[in-house]
Each structure stands twice: as structure tokens, then as C-alpha cells.
Amino acid sequence: MATVKAKISVDVELITDRHQFAGMKRVWNEVLERSGIDHPFVTHEWISAWWDSFNPKGMPYILAVKDRGTIVALAPLMLNHAKMYGCPIRRLHGMGNVYSERFELLLGDRPQEAAEALWDHLKTHAHRWDVLELRQVPLDSPTMTWLSRVAAHDGCKIGHWPSSESPYVAVRGEWDAYYKGRKKVHRAEMRKRLASLEAQGPVEMETVQSDADLDRNFEDALRLESSVWKGTQGTAIGCLPDSKTFYRDVIRMSATNGWLRLYFLTVAGKRIAVRIALLFQNRVYMLKSGYDPQYAAFAPGHVLSHKILDEAWRLKFDEVDFLGNAERWKLDWSTDVHRHAWLFVFPKRFKPRVLHYLKERIVPLIRCTRFYSVLRRLAAKMNIEIHPE
């Protein structure tokens, strides 16, 4: 006889207290594991580092779904005041910012019922918010599937805006088979680069996994990460105090949890390139990278990628995720891409429906015009990113 799961007997608790969140680490990460989330960007540790470093404006709006008193799902949200197309709005958004490469709700092992419970709370209190905005949601995430479905079923307007396509390497089969699958010209260039570097001295990869010498390692990583165009354009980690604090906290907490992979490429003992990475759920996530511009002709980033991937096969990791956008150098190594989108939900009121009409109808028309192309080029020159909102 088939077993029928009992429907969750739930209530939803709204958590707005920072100290209450701080005490939820164990249960938070248990729910994350049951949710099947394989990235670190909504772990309790990551959100804590983000919260402490950036001190985000607005009110915490964490929803905890409880089944007979036990937390079975979580929605890490914030409620703040913002503007959309010049219109003041109350925005409910995921906890994170541009440094959080992905976002999902923690829907547990029964995502449909959890999404229904969360949505029931959100629609009951829809007078508090004008738009729900979740950035960088994986297209195959239960969040995208179930939250979109239950909100649309209730008559709300939904918006999906395509976002980044992040290259990754699936670690399967033999290393030689994977490497021979790269373009012939790419492999030839790698041989030349490595031979040229080896003429300068022994080429090795140094992997830092502890915070025993955190100050020196972190400063070396910052120096290399900001050495090229990032430093001159003001986008390097060290250019912003809160960004620097955040990555220092991430490195420290990652070392404590056994996630840290701070990869340095060395030539004759000198550090010439870096990858700040995390090993989470047997997957490597590349957060930041950089290299000494004096070695640019040797493409040290590619050489370091080669060594990291070789290690991934030797240690039998599942995946190496380059994160970010599909830049050419990443595509030289990748086997596929992870696709993401921004998810917008507009409740059934006049103002949100007008905002949805602007986003789904008017803005796409503007984007097709020559004016928008000129605006994007101007924004690029000024190092301004045009976001979907």
C-alpha cells in the first residue's frame, strides 16, 4: 500500500530580532541541508557575515515555517524602503547583495507545502509590501518553481528577469578525457604558458585552509585581487571598507568550518595569482581572483585554473563553479553553465500592478530603443551597473 504523507500542520513565525537569528545556527543549517541546497550563500554563517559587515537598512523579515513546533522551512528576507522607476516602494527582498552569488528560500524536504505556507503568510500581510524581489535565483531551484506557482495561482503578477549564466566544470570521468575535450588551441597555449613560467622558477599551487596566518594571507590575496583593473576602477575588495570586512569574515568563518580554499599560484616561492574559494558540499566555489600584472603575459589565472581543476579530479570533488558571468576565460574551462533569474512578485493591489506593467511592458520596449543602448554604453564607461529594478 502506498504511503501518503500527512499535510504539514503549520504556523508561520515572523522573526525580526537579530539576536534571535544569531541563536538559530544549528536549526538553520539543518533546514538548509534538508532543502538540498548545495551552495553556501544562504547558510547561517554567510548571512551572519553579510549582516555584520554591511549593516543593511530595513527590518529583518525572516519567516519560519513550523510543523508542530519544529522549524521545517525558512525565508531569509528583509523589508525596506526603496524606489522602482522613481516610485517609492516597500520592498521585501532576500538577505544578500551583489556578493551573494545565489539566493533561495530554505523550503525543506517538502517544498510545495512549505511554499504554500510561506505564501499564505505573505498574502495575508500583503499590505506591508509592494514587491517581493529575489535576486540570483537558480532557474532549477524549488524557490523559482513553487513560489512562482503558488503566487500566480493566487492571481498575483510574476516577473522573471534573466540574470547571470555562471560557467562550471562537472568533475566526472577521467581528468585526461576532460582536458582533451578542451579546445586544441587552448591546450597548446597552456603548454606554452606553463613552460614560460617554469623558466622563471618552480611553479606550484599553495592551498591555504586555515586562518593560522590570516593577516598575511588576506593581505596577499587583497594585493593580488586589486592589482589589475579592479583596483584602478575601485571595484576591488580593498577599495571598500565594508567589502574588506565581509571577505575577511568569510575567510575566517570558512576556515573554522573547513570550507576555506585560498589558492595561490607561486613561482620560485613568490605568490603571483590568487583565487579566494570555498569548498562546500564537495563543490568548489570561486569567489574572487586576481594576479600580479607583471606576469600578465603568462596568463597566471589560466595556469592556476588548470592546477585547481587537476586537484578537483584528484580529490574527487563534484564540481568547480566559477560563479559570476560567462566570461570567455571561464568558458575555456567550463562544461556547462548555471542559469539564474531575478524573481519578482507583485501583490493584488493597484500600485504593484502598475509597477508590474512598467517592468513587463514599458521597460522592455525602452530596452529595444537606441536610447537604451546609448545609456548602457554610458553606464559602462562610468562603471555603473544597470540592474533589473
Taking only the tens place, the pLDDT of each residue in 83-103 is: 877 788 899 999 999 999 999
Do the strands 131-138 and 87-94 form a parallel or antiparallel pair, or are they unpaired? parallel
Q: Is the overall model pTM greater than 0.75, yes or no?
A: yes
pLDDT of residue 282: 98
Residue intervals of the chain classified under CATH 3.40.630.30 are 10-163+340-381
Distance from C-alpha of 83 to C-alpha of 89, rounded to nearest angstrom: 5
Query: Which residues, in sequence order, are CB contacts of 141 under 8 Å at separation 6+?
Result: 104
pLDDT of residue 19: 94
Q: Which of 149-153, 197-201, 335-339, 378-382 has the lowest mean pLDDT?
A: 378-382
The overall average pLDDT reported for the chain is 89
Taken in order 378, 384, 386, 389, the sign of the CA dihedral is: negative
pLDDT of residue 112: 96
In sequence order, what DSSP letters do the residues of 319-373 get, joined into one string? EEE--SS--HHHHTT-SEEEEEEEEEEE-SSHHHHHHHHIIIIIHHHHHTSHHHH
User: And the C-alpha cell for 95?
Assistant: 538577505
Say what angle helices 300-314 and 184-198 make with each other, to 10 degrees: 100
Q: Class assignment of domain 172-317?
A: alpha beta
Is the predicted pLDDT of residue 294 greater than 50, yes or no? yes
Burial label, 350 (beta-carbon count in 10 A; 0-12, 13-18, 19+):
exposed
Q: Which of 119-133, 228-242, 281-295, 335-349 has the lowest mean pLDDT?
A: 228-242
pLDDT of residue 385: 44
pLDDT of residue 131: 93
Of 275, 271, 268, nearest to 292 by C-alpha is 271
- State the pLDDT confidence band at 4, using cuts at 50, 70 and 90: very low
- State the pLDDT confidence band at 363, using cuts at 50, 70 and 90: low
Burial label, 82 (beta-carbon count in 10 A; 0-12, 13-18, 19+):
middle
pLDDT of residue 97: 93
Taken in order 101, 106, 110, 116, the sign of the CA dihedral is: negative
The whole-number average pLDDT for the span 223-250 is 78
The answer to whether residues 339 and 141 touch, using CB atoms and an 8 Å cutoff, is no
pLDDT of residue 228: 64
Taking only the tens place, the pLDDT of each residue in 199-219 is: 999 999 999 999 899 999 999
User: And the C-alpha cell for 47?
Assistant: 548571512
- State the pLDDT confidence band at 305, using cuts at 50, 70 and 90: very high
207 to 308, 310, 373: CA distances (angstroms): 9, 13, 43
The whole-number average pLDDT for the span 43-65 is 96
pLDDT of residue 26: 97
Burial label, 109 (beta-carbon count in 10 A; 0-12, 13-18, 19+):
middle
CATH number of 10-163+340-381: 3.40.630.30
- State the pLDDT confidence band at 354, using cuts at 50, 70 and 90: low
What percent of the chain is predicted at pLDDT more than 90? 78
Looking at the chain, the number of H-run helices and the number of E-run strands are 16, 12
- State the pLDDT confidence band at 3, using cuts at 50, 70 and 90: very low
